[in-house]
Amino acid sequence: MSTGKRRTKKFLAPQEKYEIWMQLLRGETTINEAAVTAGVDRSTVAKIRPVARQGALDALAASRPGRREKQRDVELETARLEIDRLRNAMAEMAVRLMLAEGKEPWG
């Protein structure tokens, strides 16, 4: 019998969700049994299935066979470009300074 009181909301850890999903996949439990065991509502367990499925599909779509491309480090590339820019600016300034001051006559 329902007393009209709502249960306090319980959040499942990712590992718990994964275990429930695997049990459902293997047919070891039903949604109702998993909900009772985990102490959550049936809708919480029911939502695990499509979310896990979509997550698996996304991960499989992102994985490509063969050699993996190295991850680009955008900050590192930006820093290297800035170093090159500053190096060129310093070389240009050194040339201008030398031309402005001229060579000193031999003593």
pLDDT mean by block of 10 residues, the chain; 107 residues: 65 91 93 93 91 90 72 86 95 89 64
The pTM score is 0.52
CB-based burial label for 20 (10 Å; 0-12, 13-18, 19+):
buried
Q: Which of 13, 18, 28, 16 is nearest to 49 (CA)?
A: 18
Residue in this structure with the two tokens 């992102």, named with its chain if needed: 62
What's the pLDDT at 34?
94
Long-range contacts formed by 54-62: CB under 8 A, 24+ apart: none
In the prediction, which pLDDT does 74 show? 85
